[in-house]
Amino acid sequence: MSSEKSLLSERDLKFNLWFNMFILVGMITAVVVVNVLKIRAQDAITVKQIVVAVGAIMGVVNTVLSANGNIWTFLFGVLDVSIGAYANYDSGNMGQFAQHAFYFLPMQFIGYWQWRKRGAGKKTEEGGTSKVRARRLTGKQWVYVAIAIIAGTAICYGILYWVDLKLLEAGKIAEIDKAKLFLDAFVLVLNLIGQILMSWAYMDQWYLWNLVNVFSILLWTNRLMSAGSDSYTIVMVIKYSFYLLNSINGLRIWLKLSRPQPEQA
């Protein structure tokens, strides 16, 4: 079994320690501000809003641990997804509830099982715990992923367009924003496929997470520049900017974690 030091150097570990602290503080601050603004907008501090805020912080920790190949990411992932499922069910968002409860939640347990099989969380000779031995997609697998992204985006776009068309006919919206619908569908599919690659410990997930964060920043920046933007919008831009920094660091780390080890050669 390769030790953690054979995968990441002492310099990497020190850099990651300080970088992770910066990301955690920045992202948690953004999450707290977002939820404070929501609470003020509702003119009441609800128990549900506080629970959702705690879930969001669990999601922040989950994201940072994932970037570092730490198997504890799935514990915080279970908490984050479970709270998200509750919040959406309570709000009547049954589509989001189903996505959290029947997709993201089971994937946390699958991911834990797969990462354990690839050495994550085991004791090392130095007394620490090992990180996951990541793998990389082959050229053929990338073709399958690309087809899944294109087909999935087309299907999701069609569904979202149909929903907006019904709203337009009912007079509930003034027009159909096709660009926004495409970005929504694209980001959703990248999230779904990225979760699969993460659970099976593929380094290539970070290319998708970087795309997710870039397009999320574009979506919120577009809203920020519109006439009806508010302080909540700029916080979301800042939040996803921190997520982007974390995903870039995740790609850097996982490129090293996915290098062939002597026992794998």
Enumerate the domain spans of the chain. 4-257
Collect all residues with Cβ–Cβ distance below 8 Å to 44 and sequence separation of at least 6. Answer: none
Q: Is the pLDDT of residue 95 over 80?
A: no
**Entry field: residues in the chain:** 265
pLDDT value of position 75: 95
Instruction: Please report the DSSP string for the chain in residue order.
Output: ---HHHHS-HHHHHHHHHHHHHHHHHHHHHHHHHHHHHHHHHTS--HHHHHHHHHHHHHHHHHHHHHTT-TTHHHHHHHHHHHHHHHHHHHT-HHHHHHIIIIIHHHHHHHHHHHHHTTTT-B-TTSSBPPP--B---HHHHHHHHHHHHHHHHHHHHHHHHHHHHHHHTTS-S---HHHHHHHHHHHHHHHHHHHHHHTTBTTHHHHHHHHHHHHHHHHHHHHTSTT--HHHHHHHHHHHHHHHHHHHHHHHHHHHTSPPTTT-
**What is the radius of gyration, based on Cα positions, of the chain?**
20
Give the model's confidence band at 230: pLDDT under 50 very low, under 70 low, under 90 confident, else very high.
low
Q: What is the per-residue burial (b if ≥16 Cβ within 10 Å, else e) of 88-99?
A: beeeeeeeebeb
- Which of 50-64, 142-156, 188-202 shows the lowest mean pLDDT across its residues? 50-64
* Structure confidence by residue, pLDDT tens digits, 105-138: 999 999 999 999 998 888 777 667 788 999 999 9
Average pLDDT, the chain: 85
Query: Residue 82: pLDDT above 80?
Result: yes
Instruction: Place 254 in a pLDDT band, splitting at 50, 70 and 90.
Output: very high
Q: Is 138 exposed, middle or buried (0-12, 13-18, 19+ CB in 10 A)?
A: exposed
CA distance 168 to 11: 56
Q: Are 134 and 202 in contact (CB under 8 A)?
A: yes
Q: Please, what is the angle between helix 139-169 and helix 178-199, to 10°?
A: 140
Q: Provide the residue type at 210 as one letter.
A: N
